[in-house]
Amino acid sequence: MRAREQKREISAAKGGMMLVVKQYRCTHSSTCICMKGHLSEDAIFLVFQHLNWNPRLIAAMSCVCKWFDEVAKRVLWKEFCRTRAPKMMLDLQSSGSHSVDGNWKALGKLLIYCSGCSKGGLFNTIHIPGHFVYRTRFSRTSGKSFLIPQCRTDVLYVSDPCEHLDQGEEGDVGFFRGVFKSFSFSRVRKMLIDRQAKFHPTEVCPYCKAKLWSMLQANMIPRSASCRLGAYDDCIEYYVCLNGHMLGISTLLPLSDSEEVSELE
């Protein structure tokens, strides 16, 4: 059985040191059912393991109280990510870290949620609501196509585009998302800082709420990205947040044109 992870704080007291277990208090009223006691983390782990780490149920449980939310962030979302994308998670943690940049909840959301866009937001030309997707393939090989040559030693996983067809004058639109491995040590981050790239003044990452750099403004979008997506060269844009989450949009070529691009590659 999985050993219970406990957070402890050391508090100084007269006459010596005393171990104090960190308490998680319910943020609901005194009549909330949560006040009657919690299941152990071991029991919660086994229940959600039986449920195959259902993300909707994890999200629902997180809303019950602060204690459940902490367990979900620390344990359940981590196991969901490991189950949904085991090879990808193994690679992201191969540097020896027990966590990932940002947090497990943010990464779990990135795996299954297309952020869409709204007028006046990051991609302000059209309004397409964000939505959950059943399954998306993330590729490390595809990620290389989104990096300029100086940065191709970085590891970036990028999803297949989530296609939204017939968007009026915008045509066929594709949203894509991704995540860097060890972004704080990446060449992309260093180059963004060296180029004094500016953060977006109002918008933040929809997955972790961190500030966003525009790769378009930093002139760091290679032509290979549009080839990989089957998109027009001048109609692709993406952002990277401080935690290494990437989200972008492209205007997709008609199917016949996409086939021609593939042949050229």
pLDDT in tens, 119-147: 777 876 778 888 888 778 999 999 999 99
Nearest Cα to 104, choosing from 86, 82, 119?
Answer: 82
Count how many Cα atoms sit within 13 Å of the Cα of residue 70 in the half-sphere of its side chain. 15
Interatomic CA distance for residues 180 and 203, integer angstroms:
20
SS3 at position 101? coil
Strand 199-204 and strand 162-164: pairing? unpaired
- What are 159-216's pLDDT values in tens digits? 998 888 876 666 788 899 999 999 999 999 999 999 999 999 999 999 999 999 999 9
SS3 at position 83? helix
pLDDT at 21 (0 to 100): 42
Q: For 71-94, what is the mean pLDDT?
A: 91
Q: For 149-155, what is the mean pLDDT?
A: 94
Interatomic CA distance for residues 108 and 87, integer angstroms:
15
Q: Is the pLDDT of residue 246 over 50?
A: yes
CA 3 to chain centre: 27
Domain boundaries, the chain: 8-84, 118-264
The single-letter DSSP state of residue 15 is: T
pLDDT at 11 (0 to 100): 38
- What are 20-78's pLDDT values in tens digits? 344 445 555 555 565 556 667 888 899 999 999 999 999 998 888 787 888 898 899 99
Length of the chain in residues, anyone? 265
Q: Is the pLDDT of residue 230 over 90?
A: no
Q: How confident is the model at residue 3 (pLDDT cuts 50, 70, 90)?
A: very low
Give 152-156 contacts, CB < 8 A, sequence gap 24+.
Answer: 153/187, 154/180, 154/181, 154/186, 154/187, 154/188, 155/91, 155/180, 155/181, 155/182, 156/180, 156/181, 156/188, 156/246
